[in-house]
Amino acid sequence: MVFADRIVTGFAIDHRKIAPGTVFGAFEGTAFNGEDFIDEAIAAGAIAVVARPEAAVRGAVHIAEANPRQAFARLAAQFFQPFPAHVAAVTGTNGKTSTAELTRQLWRMAGHNAASIGTLGITTASDQAKTGLTTPDIVTFLANMSGLAREGISHAIFEASSHGLSQYRSEGVPVSVAAFTNLSRDHLDYHGTMEAYFEAKMRLFDEVVDESGCAVIWADDVWSDQVIARARKREIRLITVGEKGKGIQLLSRQPTQLGQTLELRIQGDVHKLKLPLIGAYQAANALVAAGVVMASGGDVESLLSHLARLQPVRGRLERAVITKSGAPVYVDYAHTPDGLRAAIAALRPHTKGKLITVFGAGGDRDTGKRPEMGAVAVADSDIVIVTDDNPRSEDPSLIRADVMAGAKGAYEIGDRRYAIAFAIEHAEPDDIVLIAGKGHEQGQIIMGRVLPFDDVEVARECAA
Ligand SMILES: CC(=O)N[C@H]1[C@@H](OP(=O)(O)OP(=O)(O)OC[C@H]2O[C@@H](n3ccc(=O)[nH]c3=O)[C@H](O)[C@@H]2O)O[C@H](CO)[C@@H](O)[C@@H]1O[C@H](C)C(=O)N[C@@H](C)C(=O)N[C@H](CCC(=O)O)C(=O)O
Ligand SMILES: Nc1ncnc2c1ncn2[C@@H]1O[C@H](COP(=O)(O)OP(=O)(O)OP(=O)(O)O)[C@@H](O)[C@H]1O
Ligand SMILES: N[C@H](CCC[C@H](N)C(=O)O)C(=O)O
Ligand SMILES: [Mg+2]
């Protein structure tokens, strides 16, 4: 790729990452305006700048576009290709990471070289690398995708977060399957309204997925019909999944001690499946993953046997330890009202005694979800302990107060380790402890610092 007779050596959206020969993407953001750094980028060697037509670009080629993020992504994609032959994307408020990871496992069992990109980082059969965000920035995303292709990955699935979709952070790679899990309250600090949040996610179906691709849609969510309508409008192939699903219909679900038995109708035939994961939500994610595999050409018989061999996803209803009194302690990543409801509901059939829930809400995130999470927790559990979860730049006691406003009768223990210890101490033999919100996370983010913290590890220490 060449601009003004100079060979392009790379792409950057941060002026501090410019080397001679780089194409710079100058975007207006939430904290900065990238256009303010154009002169510095050119001084550092940028040969072309993708920016709005009204931006001032002197001394480099100005690629003037009304939507510079999208234009930059398309151009960078030409530079970074090739990409894996089969790429799927999954969106939804909850279940993206789980669905992506389960899809990767199913592809792997089918003999494909598969990878997933999302909250857990980049996962392949042999490796896991952290990226920091669910959807990395566009340059990292494209570089990762092309790196995976060069390593021989043929099947990749990525999590398309609403932030990522609205900022064109996961653009430019041809997507042949787009999946939807569900939509409920989250990130309203960023999107403003549920409708705007929904529209951000719908870009995946309206624009991102290929015309010749396939949509895999969880059919039992209140938003599902609207997503199905979008896919129909584009006339893309459709696989609906769930009790109302036509591609994979969930006929019944019976919890067992270590998992659940599902009865499914697929292409007219009824099958019984022993899924080794507990909870309605994990069944939903596993079935959406199965839909993605079917959409990319998987055969049903082997798919069913692979579903029965799925491994748990890190930090999603992960059994951390059993207390001295005999109560199992689960760690889950529920960080929305709907997620908390789903996690508690998953454990309820396995609880003979009391369900004890420990959770908090993140700082610098949607504040409206806090009392809603509090209300869900007290309504569905027997004992609730409200604690801290990544206060970030906020005062943790004010976050807890927001949560407590909805959590009548809950205990409040700010220090997460003490909160977990309290729950474990009070757990009796038939009880279950749920520690929600951080899942796989390895740190507590307080005022820009990340203090090491792992719910699973802390639970084990407290139970020892
Ligand atoms: C609100 C938000 O999503 N912000 C993300 C976004 O920033 P932005 O585009 O608004 O950028 P900005 O910081 O205002 O800067 C504007 C531009 O100037 C450039 N710049 C800035 C400063 C400078 O000195 N030089 C320079 O060139 C920046 O590189 C950027 O291109 O793009 C950046 C790079 O791609 C991200 O790092 C950043 O994520 C911040 C850190 C963040 O916390 N994001 C969270 C909310 C997020 O995205 N979460 C979703 C989660 C969701 C889920 O699954 O639920 C995720 O996908 O991870
Ligand atoms: N299908 C689902 N329906 C309702 N809740 C779910 C579903 N799947 C997962 N959850 C809840 O959401 C939590 C997070 O799951 P997961 O990490 O798969 O979602 P995600 O969409 O990737 O989240 P993030 O937005 O943080 O990336 C789980 O631990 C669980 O509590
Ligand atoms: N992807 C979500 C993760 C939230 C996890 C929770 N532990 C928190 O910090 O709020 C977010 O960035 O909002
Ligand atoms: Mg995720």
**Total-model pTM:** 0.94
Do residues 155 and 37 both lie within one domain?
no
Do residues 146 and 210 both lie within one domain?
yes
Residues around ligand 4, an ion, CB closer than 5 A: 96-97, 119, 134
Whether the CB of 336 sits within 6 Å of ligand 3: no
- Is there a domain that residue 75 lies in? no
105 labelled as ligand-binding?
A: no
Do residues 328 and 260 both lie within one domain?
no
Give the span between the Cα atoms of 386 and 402, in whole angstroms: 10
For the record, the structure tokens of 390 come out as: 């990544």
Using one digit for the tens of pLDDT, what is the confidence trace for 129-164? 887 788 889 999 999 999 999 999 999 999 999 999
Do residues 249 and 222 both lie within one domain?
yes
Mean pLDDT of 160-173: 94
Largest CA distance in the chain: 74
Mean pLDDT of 21-26: 98
Nearest residue CA, atom 10 of ligand 3?
362
389 labelled as ligand-binding?
A: yes
Query: Domain span at residue 169?
Result: 81-308
Q: Please answer whether residues 143 and 122 qualify as being in contact, where contact means their C-beta atoms are separated by less than 8 angstroms.
A: no
Give the span between the Cα atoms of 88 and 293, in whole angstroms: 9
Query: Rounded mean pLDDT of the chain?
Result: 96
Do residues 187 and 329 both lie within one domain?
no
Do residues 97 and 165 both lie within one domain?
yes
Q: Which amino acid is at 394?
A: E
Task: Give the pLDDT score at 26.
Answer: 98
For the record, the structure tokens of 380 come out as: 């569905």
182 labelled as ligand-binding?
A: no
Do residues 142 and 290 both lie within one domain?
yes
Domain final position from 277, 308, 339: 308
Using one digit for the tens of pLDDT, what is the confidence trace for 255-300? 988 899 999 999 999 999 999 999 999 999 999 999 999 998 889 9
Q: Please answer whether residues 359 and 347 qualify as being in contact, where contact means their C-beta atoms are separated by less than 8 angstroms.
A: no
- Ligand closest in space to the Cα of 333: 2
Instruction: Name, in order, each residue with C-beta under 8 angstroms of 99's C-beta and a sequence gap of 6 or more.
Output: 90, 92, 157, 179, 181, 285, 288, 289, 292
- Is there a domain that residue 345 lies in? yes
Do residues 347 and 286 both lie within one domain?
no
Q: How far is the CA of 390 from the centre of ligand 3 (A)?
A: 8
Mean pLDDT of 114-134: 89
Nearest residue CA, atom 10 of ligand 1?
29
Whether the CB of 134 sits within 6 Å of ligand 3: yes
Residue 459 has pLDDT above 80, yes or no: yes
Whether the CB of 390 sits within 6 Å of ligand 3: yes
Q: Which residues sit opposite 115 in a β-bridge?
A: 156
CATH code of residue 322:
3.90.190.20
152 C-beta neighbours (distance < 10 Å), count:
9
Query: 136 or 349, which is more confident?
Result: 349
Residue 40 has pLDDT above 90, yes or no: yes
Task: Give the pLDDT score at 190.
Answer: 82
Using one digit for the tens of pLDDT, what is the confidence trace for 172-197? 999 999 999 999 888 888 888 999 99
Which position has the token pair 């949607």? 366
Whether the CB of 134 sits within 6 Å of ligand 1: yes
161 labelled as ligand-binding?
A: yes
Domain final position from 286, 308, 330: 308
Q: How far is CA 61 from CA 45, 50, 138, 200, 426, in A?
A: 12, 8, 21, 31, 66
- Is there a domain that residue 105 lies in? yes
Number of domains in the chain: 3
CATH code of residue 290:
3.40.1190.10
Alpha helices in 235-380, H assignment, sequence order? 280-295, 300-307, 337-347, 369-380
Give the span between the Cα atoms of 319 and 434, in whole angstroms: 9
- Is there a domain that residue 3 lies in? no
Q: How far is CA 371 from CA 2, 339, 377, in A?
A: 54, 14, 10
Instruction: Select from 84, 135, 89, 82 the least CA-distant residue to 112.
Output: 84
Give the span between the Cα atoms of 332 and 301, in whole angstroms: 31
- Is there a domain that residue 208 lies in? yes
Do residues 97 and 195 both lie within one domain?
yes
Whether the CB of 389 sits within 6 Å of ligand 3: yes
Whether the CB of 335 sits within 6 Å of ligand 3: yes
Predicted-complex ipTM score: 0.93
pLDDT above 70 coverage of the chain, percent: 100
CATH code of residue 24:
3.40.1390.10
Q: Please answer whether residues 443 and 364 qualify as being in contact, where contact means their C-beta atoms are separated by less than 8 angstroms.
A: no
Give the span between the Cα atoms of 2 and 71, in whole angstroms: 16
Q: How far is CA 274 from CA 99, 277, 308, 310, in A?
A: 18, 9, 6, 10
Instruction: Name, in order, each residue with C-beta under 8 angstroms of 219's C-beta and a sequence gap of 6 or more.
Output: 228, 240, 241, 242, 243, 244, 245, 246
Whether the CB of 14 sits within 6 Å of ligand 1: yes
Do residues 111 and 214 both lie within one domain?
yes
Task: Give the pLDDT score at 115.
Answer: 97
Pocket of ligand 2 (CB under 6 A): 92, 94-98, 119, 134, 159, 181-182, 281, 284-285, 316, 332-334, 338-339, 342-343, 439
Nearest residue CA, atom 7 of ligand 3?
438
- Is there a domain that residue 368 lies in? yes
183 alpha-carbon distance from chain centroid: 12
Ligand 3 mutation pick, 134, 184, 316, 335, max ligand atoms within 8 A of CB: 335
- Is there a domain that residue 5 lies in? no
Do residues 163 and 260 both lie within one domain?
yes
- Is there a domain that residue 59 lies in? yes
Whether the CB of 31 sits within 6 Å of ligand 1: yes
Task: Give the pLDDT score at 132.
Answer: 75
Do residues 55 and 99 both lie within one domain?
no
